[in-house]
Structure 1
Amino acid sequence: MTDRPLPEGTTGIAGSTGSTGTTGTTGYVDGPTAHAWAALGGSPELLERVSFQGPDDVLPSGLPVLRLARATVAVCSLAAAELAAHRSGAAVQAASAVPAAPVAPAAQAVPAVRVDQGAVATAFVSERHLTVDGRAPVSFAPHSGFWRTADGWVRTHANYPHHRARLLSALDLAADAGPEQLAEALGKLPAERVQERAYAAGALAVAVAPVGPAMHPLVEHREVGAAAASAPVRPLGEAPVDRPAAGVRVLDLTRVIAGPVATRALALLGADVLRVDPPRLPEAEDAHADTGFGKRSTRLDLAAPADRAVFEELLATADVVVTAYRPGALDAHGLGPDALFARRPDLILAQLRAWGWAGPWAGRRGFDSLVQAGVGIAAHEAAPDGRPGVLPAQALDHGTGYLIAAAVLRALTDQRTRRPGGRHLRFSLAGTASWLLHGIEPEPDAPHEASPERYDPSRWLTETDSAYGRLRHALPPIGYEGAPADWSRPPGRWGTDEPVWL
């Protein structure tokens, strides 16, 4: 079965709710929210459950970053509310009484969604608000950033030691070369030559490019399993409204930042999320302190027979697998999509890549900052002196993360109300970037009540004790009636949990 790409651009569903959100009372529906919800296969009548509130002066940009951010949080909130309605006592009893006729939640039974733009803006820069015992982590290492080249600009990513070492080696620099030597070397080379030398060495550098055409869909998905009997799904039973994903087992095979944001959202909503990392690829502790809320974390070597056996036991009863490793990394361990669905035709598999699933760059590594450079966002946001710019948040990462979580939640509902069987979901940072550049129109002149509120992020920050120390962190932006206000547990130390389901 082939993947079904979804169209680029807006859906033609008119209007916007503005800052306070008039959806459901005036008939206006937020266009980006409607497009994302349709891309996820959501029922259009549920869009009238969505509204917005809060300050307008957030995530300022020459691109519609706020519209993207609030839409991704809105569809995640709506998918959570939809699943909560399905798992309410009435729906569960109705479904158990007539097993052959699953009960989809009626629109009026789905809790109303009200997304606060201040909460969204704070969550979209959660890594910047994080402090650990008062210390603010450093987001980008000295060898990461924009650099002048002989004919333009290049963006590097060298936050991890192995990426820095590969970058310096690709440029014939000493392992201890500092930013000054890096700048000198880059200034002598054309940007695309730097890009290709870095790629060949397994390093990360991308030439800053002009805005290109829309090339990637927001999400691709397919259904797996020809009949209900061939791929039954595990019953979940009743669940409280603030934990609609309770009892769902999620294997988290992701790193930095989109995948961990997705699984952090699922953990907020009650899923048992177990992150699995290889022992020889350490995670930055500050990154885990930001995105590890609600989860557990373990380390397994998939090439070691004993660890592989443990992983297979986990996989055998997992409901969801989320992956975001470089292309081909898991396939080499026999964990590609076809192999997974051959063993588990009822699985929900969500995959993430940087550069999309087709085209010459599909197999390349990437991060949000590099995709911004490569698709034209950095050029679009350039300063008057020509220096490339950035979005006010790593919006491709965070936005894609909430889209992934929304798709998983929708798949859980869809399996149990429409058709059993597996679900294969594919996302890319480049797809979200295409949507931002080409698929979200400027704010229309829809009637809405202007918000006098000024943005103060402290309203959406809190402090929590953890294994890392006292954390100041952003609160979750998920907003529906009865939604959880915070995670049930702080992040534990990376890689220290037992590899078992709770």
Structure 2
Amino acid sequence: MSPAAVLDSLWERAGLPGAALAFARLTGSEPVFPSSFCVGTAAQATIAAAALAACELGHQRGAPRQRVGVAMEHAAVECTGWFAIDGRTPDPWDKFSGLYRSADGWVRIHANFAHHRDGALRLLGLNPATATRADAEAAMLRWNAVDFESAAAEAGLVATALRSFQQWDATPQALAVAQQPLFSIDRIGDAPPLALQPLSLEQRPLEGVRVLELTRILAGPVAGRALASHGSDVMLVNSPQLPNIAAIADTSRGKRSTHIDLHEAAGRSAMDRLVQGAHVFVQGYRPGGLEALGYGAPALAQRRPGIVCVSLSAYGNAGPWAGRRGFDSLLQTAMGFNHAEGQAAGDGKPRPMPMQILDEATGFLMALAACAALWRQQREGGSWHVQLSLAQTAHWLRGLGRVEGGLSARPTSRAPYLETSASGFGELTAIRPSAQLERTPARYSSPSVQPGHSPPHW
């Protein structure tokens, strides 16, 4: 599919007016990074869709439509998520993260959080205080891949067996994912349209839209950052009890950031006050996590009639894996992408795609769907629930087809797309937004700040 056709299909899924598509301009072609998959197309189409949807919501509020241009090279570089702090690029992976040979195949372990790393090492029969990577590799050879995957899931850990597309397609979870749409936008209650002020010609399309973001890795933070780049007031809410990854310095651009502990009465009171002023609530915690604390979509629609709730999961809301934790790298392994890239390379060695494209594309799809739901809310009222998953995005990406000879491409240089600014983490060098809006350029109106920097009120 051409990038324009992919954008058209996303727009149709979002239910937005077809006339707006005439204002989109997509340039460039595959391949832009070494991959046999359409990673450039996925980046470009999702970024363009999110920006165009923001502009369409702005048009709903009285602003003229404006042209939106996205170059594939810039979009793909943006989706690498590259950044540096004070000239240093953080290593995105813990030394225990990655692929391990097992007795009958391969297993990928995600160990970027200490509790996941230590749990995986204990499952391997090792002492986390003294184990080495070599110890873990030797221990994994005693396991069958699927057995370790199942044991890890039962323990609440994050590891997956390597599968081919054929092997993945034979699983019950693959069948469940294939039956779900790329994303869903459902009305979950009645409410009048929420008050949003009309926009002047100079105002960015999402100004006045308040977004509560309860996310950590990586798709959810990308969604909040995309909304912030078009003018939303985004409040990132972290638990003071949970760790973060280094990428928070990049994904927090344009946001406020507060600490709230929902296990305490004072924290719930603060959250309830924020909810009362929010238009959009974005969450990416494991399925059932926030529901158990009273902040699932139906409860939020009762507290704040008219709110748009956006829920992200790893494997979708149906099938035997619906409750499992998961990250981009793990889904690439479980769903056949690592195997397929190795086959395309000719050596058969499993290899990842050149970016966390499932996270990145899903983040921009979340922004698209949030704007589309809010556009509907402004037209007809109601409370709305948007649902997406990394697995549904992966299924969609696979459906875009393959790039012949794509693995021989040279990576696009990031140098032309960098911007440097002060931040709460040090001097931040990162990729500027690739969506080029004719009248209101995408930008981050505030620097990224440390978690807990902002008070918990609008």
Output the TM-score relative to the length of structure 2: 0.92
Q: Percent identity?
A: 39
8 Å CA contact retained: 1:224, 1:345? no
Look up the match of 1:78. 52
Structure 1 residues 165-204: Cα deviation after superposition (integer angstroms, max 9, x where no partner) = 1111222210121211111111111001111111122211
8 Å CA contact retained: 1:170, 1:203? no
8 Å CA contact retained: 2:36, 2:402? no
Highest Rg: 1 or 2?
A: 1
Residues matched between the structures, number: 440
Q: Displacement, 1:443?
A: 7.9
CA separation in 2, counterparts of 1:358 and 1:154? 24
CA separation in 2, counterparts of 1:368 and 1:454? 20
Q: Displacement, 1:48?
A: 2.3
CA RMSD, aligned part only? 2.0
Quick one: structure 1 residues 224 and 202, their matched pair in 2 at CA, closer, same or farther if it must change by over 3 Å? closer
Look up the match of 2:318. 358
CA separation in 1, counterparts of 2:45 and 2:67? 15
Q: Displacement, 1:57?
A: 4.5
Q: Give the residue type in structure 2 aligned to 1:459.
A: P
Look up the match of 1:122. 77
Structure 2 unaligned segments of length 5 or more: list them: 170-177, 405-409
Q: Displacement, 1:84?
A: 2.5
8 Å CA contact retained: 1:219, 1:431? yes
Residue 262 of structure 1 aligns to a residue in which SS?
A: helix
8 Å CA contact retained: 1:125, 1:393? yes
Look up the match of 2:354. 392
Look up the match of 2:435. 478
Structure 1 residues 270-295: Cα deviation after superposition (integer angstroms, max 9, x where no partner) = 111111111110212x2110100000
User: Which region of structure 1 is more displaced relative to structure 2, 164-173 or 398-407?
Assistant: 164-173
Match of 2:364 among 402, 406, 413: 402
CA separation in 1, counterparts of 2:203 and 2:415? 24
Quick one: structure 1 residues 114 and 331, their matched pair in 2 at CA, closer, same or farther if it must change by over 3 Å? same
After TM superposition, list the pairs within 5 Å mapping 1:184-223 onto structure 2: 184-211=138-165, 212-213=168-169, 214-223=178-187
CA separation in 1, counterparts of 2:418 and 2:283? 29
8 Å CA contact retained: 1:72, 1:403? yes
Q: Displacement, 1:119?
A: 1.6
Quick one: structure 1 residues 121 and 168, their matched pair in 2 at CA, closer, same or farther if it must change by over 3 Å? same
Match of 2:19 among 45, 51, 66: 45
Q: Does 1:35 find its partner at 2:9?
A: yes
Structure 1 unaligned segments of length 5 or more: list them: 1-14, 18-29, 90-108, 445-452
Quick one: structure 1 residues 239 and 159, their matched pair in 2 at CA, closer, same or farther if it must change by over 3 Å? farther
Look up the match of 1:411. 373
After TM superposition, list the pairs within 5 Å mapping 1:89-104 onto structure 2: none
8 Å CA contact retained: 2:30, 2:41? no
Look up the match of 1:145. 98
Match of 2:41 among 40, 63, 67: 67
8 Å CA contact retained: 1:70, 1:115? yes
Q: Give the residue type in structure 2 aligned to 1:283.
A: N
Q: Displacement, 1:215?
A: 4.6
User: Which region of structure 1 is more displaced relative to structure 2, 397-406 or 473-482?
Assistant: 473-482
Match of 2:67 among 104, 109, 112: 112
Q: Give the residue type in structure 2 aligned to 1:123.
A: E
Look up the match of 2:134. 180
Look up the match of 1:224. 188
Structure 1 residues 233-269: Cα deviation after superposition (integer angstroms, max 9, x where no partner) = 2233225555211111111000111000000011111
CA separation in 1, counterparts of 2:323 and 2:164? 21
Q: Displacement, 1:16?
A: 3.1
Look up the match of 1:261. 222
Q: Give the residue type in structure 1 aligned to 2:223.
A: A
Residue 280 of structure 1 aligns to a residue in which SS?
A: coil
Look up the match of 1:427. 388
Quick one: structure 1 residues 55 and 222, their matched pair in 2 at CA, closer, same or farther if it must change by over 3 Å? closer
Q: Give the residue type in structure 1 aligned to 2:2.
A: S
Match of 2:247 among 278, 287, 307: 287
Match of 2:285 among 319, 325, 329: 325
Output the TM-score relative to the length of structure 1: 0.84
Look up the match of 1:104. none
CA separation in 2, counterparts of 1:144 and 1:240? 49
CA separation in 1, counterparts of 2:349 and 2:179? 25
CA separation in 2, counterparts of 1:311 and 1:472? 32
Quick one: structure 1 residues 278 and 240, their matched pair in 2 at CA, closer, same or farther if it must change by over 3 Å? farther
CA separation in 2, counterparts of 1:457 and 1:57? 15
8 Å CA contact retained: 2:119, 2:157? yes
After TM superposition, list the pairs within 5 Å mapping 1:237-276 onto structure 2: 237-241=198-202, 243-276=204-237
CA separation in 2, counterparts of 1:455 and 1:482? 27
CA separation in 2, counterparts of 1:425 and 1:493? 28
Q: Give the residue type in structure 2 aligned to 1:281.
A: L
8 Å CA contact retained: 2:40, 2:73? no
Q: Displacement, 1:113?
A: 1.8
User: Which region of structure 1 is more displaced relative to structure 2, 43-52 or 492-501?
Assistant: 43-52
